[in-house]
Amino acid sequence: MELNEIITLCIFLVVYAIITARSKLKNIPFWWIMSIGAILVLGFGVISVDSAMKSVNIQVIGFLFGMFSITSALEKSGVLNYVIQKILIRIKKVKYILMIIVILSGFLAAFIVNDTAAIIIIPFAISISKQLGIKPSVILISIAMGINIGSVMTPIGNPQNLLIASQSGISMPFITFFAILGPPTIINLFLSGLVLSFYYKKNIHTKSLLQEHNPDSCDDYNNYDYNNRFDDGDSRIKSNLTRFSFANKFAKISVIVFLSTIAVIIISEVFNILFEVIYLDIGTVSLLGAASLYIFCKERIPILKSVNYSVLIFFISMFIFTSALWTSGLIPDILRLFPPINSDNTYNLVYDNAIISAVSIILSQILSNVPFVATYNLYMIQNGFDGDDVYAWLMLAAASTIAGNLTIFGAASNIIIMQTAESRGVKVFTFLEFLKIGSVITGLNITVFYLFLIFHSSYNL
């Protein structure tokens, strides 16, 4: 091992030690930790300033800024709260609550980015757990699982999918992801909801819910009567919808911009294939959507302030840090411990996807899934994988994302859920509690994705 690799390994161990000891270090934010890693690799000359700047994926940063702006507008205008409450108050039986939460979390994550979905849905989760007398960790774990699963189906569902979409060379990434990964994702959402409902059936009281909707109330969902408990008779959940109207200009613009952004992403891909017109990548489209918000909305300053800049700093630092891990030779050395994959070797999908799945699940627990994908993308490209190897790239997207359901360290969204809930005074799930059910869900999910991609590829040959 060369000196540069030894230095890089030491820096990696320091960064990982800080991550594992966060609870004893007053929960240092992840963006601080990743920034420390980036500063150290620059300071010790593991990577040059020029190489560090080139390693930052501008498309990803632009997309995140754009989508954070758009989803912030949806939240501040009341659109997201309105939609979520409308769905939740229509639950007829408590026994369906986990199934609904998993599916709702999954579809939210698929279109508004998993980290954003996690932050938005937590207040509702806390409200539900208190009103129904369900252990908070049960609801929180269901949300974490749903978000991880649902975000698989689109390239904008999570950052690692976006990295794959932007670096793999896959044509029409949005349509490709949704068309191929959509069906197994939906299957996994339903299956996982059933498993969670069965696993936690002792925590769920099967009582009827008679929702009361008071159209005259303007109370926010955070003002629910948490002391209202269910007795053995008719049970009811009192949900006071915030007064809301799509006639509101801010809400109307937010919805139009969001739907238009998704539509333009799809149309751009279709037109590029059919008519070979200029292709707009998803980062450019999301920035254009955000720009229209800042131009036409008077609430531009509140939107700008609410953008999660810490996540942007985290990703900029992560690009620099993971690039240093790669160029130093440390990550290539680690990957040599696993069976090799090679697109030029007659492309054995059954073998390659099995290796990709195993490596993704294992290393995501160490690096977390986003940094893992940032480095593994380079490994696959170096081994001949390109835009034609669609099923290998989609397996990487599915496996690295589902890895977040194994342990709390597998995905940043798990940590965000825990931090958000803790900030509201809620006791969250433990590592072991998450692992017990997470190992079952992960095994089920990865099996469905693996088999579906194998059969789908065989059908299309």
Per-residue pLDDT of the chain (461 residues; tens, 9 = 90+): 678 888 888 998 888 788 767 667 766 777 888 899 999 999 999 999 999 998 888 888 888 899 889 888 888 888 877 777 777 666 666 677 899 899 999 998 998 878 778 877 887 777 778 777 788 889 999 999 999 999 999 998 998 998 899 889 898 888 999 999 999 999 999 999 999 999 998 887 654 343 433 333 333 333 433 333 333 333 333 333 334 555 688 888 999 998 998 888 888 877 766 666 666 777 888 899 999 999 998 888 999 988 878 878 888 998 898 888 888 888 888 888 888 887 665 458 899 999 999 999 999 887 778 888 988 998 999 888 999 999 999 999 999 999 999 998 888 788 778 877 876 778 788 888 999 999 999 999 999 999 999 999 887 75
Q: How many other C-beta atoms are found inside a 10 Å radius of the C-beta of residue 274?
A: 8
Is the distance from CB of 196 to CB of 437 less than 8 angstroms? Answer: yes
For residue 136, the one-letter residue type is P
pLDDT at 22: 65
Separation of alpha carbons 62 and 56, rounded Å:
11
pLDDT at 200: 92
pLDDT at 180: 96
Separation of alpha carbons 255 and 110, rounded Å:
16
Separation of alpha carbons 423 and 420, rounded Å:
5
pLDDT at 233: 32
Distance of CA 38 to the CA centre of its chain: 23
User: Alpha helices, DSSP H only, in 338-429?
Assistant: 349-367, 369-382, 390-402, 412-423
What end-to-end distance do the CA atoms of the chain give, in Å? 43
368 φ, ψ to 5°? 75, 155
pLDDT at 91: 65
Q: Provide the β-strand partners of residue 95.
A: none
- pTM higher than the cut 0.85: no
> What does each C-alpha distance from 84 to 87, 95, 280, 414 come to in angstroms?
5, 19, 31, 20
Judging by beta carbons within 10 Å of its beta carbon (0-12, 13-18, 19+), is residue 314 exposed, middle or buried? Answer: buried
CA-atom Rg of the chain in angstroms = 22
